Chain A
């Protein structure tokens, strides 16, 4: 199978060289160094190009072609340059790259165009760096291995850089993981030093020249491929950003044939299956809390979490080690504080968070990022540094009336270089936040209203039955008794006023005010007695009140007695005061009345209590 792919590769390149017409002759690549990194499952190619303008017109773009087979696997392309030379070199400034379709070019090539910051004048040269990341470019060969075998993979490329321009000098360095190199295409001046294969330097090559190379080497790096990842980022303005990630993982390396022996796996090194997936390391943002790791069966306890101020380190082990072709699925969730991710500027709020997944060195075939914004968010837009599919949907969650707007971003072929920050802008009115407690409050209020309605309505079926009428009369009696109680309490308060006036008299000696209080009390007593009369009449006549009537009668009688005695006492004291008798004399006179008053008061209180219980 590898032979047929390499044949196809060579065939394609053959056609390119045959059909290569006069390429663009303005630019010349004076030097290109390519470094291919094959240490992990993701192939990274860093090329440093030095272009020179040999023509007359200013050139503003550089074309980068890739064979279609490679372009299919290309996940990320970035171009940058450094301002200044030598010591004054600053950090890389990125250049815009776009996909173009120029005419007159050989088929089966995909072209990208890098726009230069300033037009390149005649005779000028410019150095730029290009980083290309390929996913699924390493093919396991043999495709099936046993548990004890080492995993061997094949990488195919062209030793000459395929370019529409003439190339003066070029080199290619392929860095391999330390391990066995099964075979590699040897051309004159090819060296293998320290797990690094160096091809070149090749000089003065015409445009679109190629020679195929294939490197067959051992790679025990675990090939973690996530077929489907769904990340849900839920924002709650009450203080939390909750991220939930659903993974569908598969081991993308050589499939395992023969059986899996756990004993062998845990024992001698050669049988251990070095290329199996044993654990995954995720770097969560700092201050992550409530981290969970579970799948459809339940919680998975084989995980380790430790946090420092820069990040939260989360190491998870799947329920079983994954060999080639095996799959697993799980869910990770964690909460983050709101102030690290949500910001406000120019009246709009925006969420600033990373796009990719926190697990390092994995390839994601299909990534869906859903950002769930609180209810009432308007004018939602997302700014992502690369191309994604976007659409909006609605999610119904806790305490929702109309649902929460969700903006969905979709991307295929995602590599760790895509783990950049992206922003989602929206407008939110703070008052909309109060809708949630308002919903709860109205729920509870509805219960209270239901209770009030129940108490106020009369839901008896027959309105003329004896028991219903009896109940009604009892209610009336109760109401009347309560009113009587009310009046008696008012009378007692007048008694208290009289007593206080007597005490004031002994303190201040003001007879006039005392007499005034007495007069007022007299008037009040008369009024209250008048009020009491119809109530007592009703109670006497009502048959339902037969139980309570004697007590009420007793209460009224005792109260009257108290009234009389108190008035007597009052007049005695005032009299003695006017006649300026000695204090001890006064006390002797009212002693007996005081005693009787005390007893009466106690009895009245008891009667009031019993009536209360009715």
Chain B
């Protein structure tokens, strides 16, 4: 009965770097979202563009905050 050890999907040493990278990308996208909201006027706003930026930004922010939790030792 061969049993092979299970490891984490991502090497544990990468968690801090990965969290910094993903969070910075996520924050840049959040900033672009809010800039778009502030500078566009009502008729020229497009819902699809807003939602796309929102989805991509929340994706990166979500993974970044997960990696941040794991890097600090809260193994969720």
Binding site for B on A (CB under 8 A): 234, 236-240, 242, 290, 335, 337-340, 342-346, 349-350, 397-399, 430, 433, 436-438, 440-445, 447-449, 451-452, 455-456, 475, 478-479, 482
For A398, the closest partner residue in chain B by CB is: B76
Besides the contacts A290-B73, A349-B6, what 5 more A-B pairs have beta carbons closer than 8 Å?
Answer: A237-B9, A343-B5, A445-B58, A451-B33, A475-B42
B5-28: CB near A (< 8 Å → 1, else 0) gives 111110010000000000000100
Cα A448 to Cα B1 with chains together (Å): 50
The reply to whether B73 and A398 contact each other, CB–CB distance below 8 Å, is no
Smallest Cβ distance from A73 to chain B, in angstroms? 38
The reply to whether B54 and A479 contact each other, CB–CB distance below 8 Å, is no
The reply to whether A339 and B62 contact each other, CB–CB distance below 8 Å, is no
For B26, the closest partner residue in chain A by CB is: A444
Contact among A344, A444, A451 with B3 in the assembled complex (CB-CB below 8 Å): A344
Smallest Cβ distance from A338 to chain B, in angstroms? 6
Chain B contributes a number of interface residues (CB within 8 A of A) equal to 38
Chain B residues with CB under 8 Å of A399's CB are 76
The reply to whether A444 and B5 contact each other, CB–CB distance below 8 Å, is no
The reply to whether B5 and A340 contact each other, CB–CB distance below 8 Å, is yes
Smallest Cβ distance from B60 to chain A, in angstroms? 9
Chain B residues with CB under 8 Å of A449's CB are 54
The reply to whether A238 and B70 contact each other, CB–CB distance below 8 Å, is yes
The reply to whether A475 and B41 contact each other, CB–CB distance below 8 Å, is yes
Contact among A234, A239, A455 with B37 in the assembled complex (CB-CB below 8 Å): A455
Q: For chain B, residues 27 to 56, give those with C-beta under 8 angstroms from any C-beta of chain A.
A: 33-34, 37, 41-45, 47, 50-51, 54-55
Chain A residues with CB under 8 Å of B7's CB are 239, 338-339
Smallest Cβ distance from A392 to chain B, in angstroms? 21
Chain A residues with CB under 8 Å of B66's CB are 436-437, 440
The reply to whether B62 and A437 contact each other, CB–CB distance below 8 Å, is yes
Cα A476 to Cα B66 with chains together (Å): 43
Binding site for A on B (CB under 8 A): 1-9, 12, 26, 33-34, 37, 41-45, 47, 50-51, 54-55, 57-59, 61-63, 65-66, 69-70, 73-76
Chain A residues with CB under 8 Å of B5's CB are 338-340, 342-344
5 closest A-B pairs (Cβ-Cβ)? A441-B62, A239-B8, A448-B54, A444-B58, A236-B75
The reply to whether B8 and A237 contact each other, CB–CB distance below 8 Å, is yes
Chain B residues with CB under 8 Å of A242's CB are 75
Known A343-B3, A350-B3, A478-B41: A448·B8 in contact at CB below 8 Å:
no
Cα A574 to Cα B42 with chains together (Å): 46
Known A343-B3, A399-B76: A441·B50 in contact at CB below 8 Å:
no
Cα A335 to Cα B72 with chains together (Å): 13
The reply to whether A479 and B43 contact each other, CB–CB distance below 8 Å, is yes
Chain A residues with CB under 8 Å of B26's CB are 444
For A612, the closest partner residue in chain B by CB is: B39
The reply to whether A452 and B76 contact each other, CB–CB distance below 8 Å, is no
The reply to whether A437 and B69 contact each other, CB–CB distance below 8 Å, is no
Smallest Cβ distance from A209 to chain B, in angstroms? 49
For B11, the closest partner residue in chain A by CB is: A239
Cα A443 to Cα B42 with chains together (Å): 27
Name 19 interchain pairs, CB-CB below 8 A, sorted by A.
A236-B76, A237-B8, A238-B76, A338-B7, A338-B8, A344-B4, A345-B2, A349-B6, A350-B3, A397-B76, A398-B74, A436-B76, A438-B62, A441-B61, A441-B63, A447-B58, A448-B57, A455-B37, A478-B41
For A446, the closest partner residue in chain B by CB is: B58
The reply to whether A479 and B62 contact each other, CB–CB distance below 8 Å, is no
Smallest Cβ distance from A316 to chain B, in angstroms? 21
The reply to whether A433 and B3 contact each other, CB–CB distance below 8 Å, is no
* A240, A349, A441, A449 interface centre (most CB from chain B within 10 Å): A441
* B2, B5, B57, B69 interface centre (most CB from chain A within 10 Å): B5
For B70, the closest partner residue in chain A by CB is: A238
For A434, the closest partner residue in chain B by CB is: B9
Chain A residues with CB under 8 Å of B42's CB are 475, 479
Known A398-B74, A436-B76, A455-B45: A238·B3 in contact at CB below 8 Å:
no
The reply to whether A237 and B58 contact each other, CB–CB distance below 8 Å, is no
For B76, the closest partner residue in chain A by CB is: A398
Chain A residues with CB under 8 Å of B59's CB are 441
Smallest Cβ distance from B25 to chain A, in angstroms? 13
Chain B residues with CB under 8 Å of A482's CB are 41, 44
Cα A399 to Cα B66 with chains together (Å): 10
The reply to whether A444 and B62 contact each other, CB–CB distance below 8 Å, is yes
Contact among B4, B50, B62, B69 with A343 in the assembled complex (CB-CB below 8 Å): B4
Chain A residues with CB under 8 Å of B61's CB are 440-441, 444
Cα A532 to Cα B48 with chains together (Å): 28
Contact among A442, A444, A456 with B57 in the assembled complex (CB-CB below 8 Å): A444
Smallest Cβ distance from A346 to chain B, in angstroms? 7
Cα A344 to Cα B44 with chains together (Å): 55
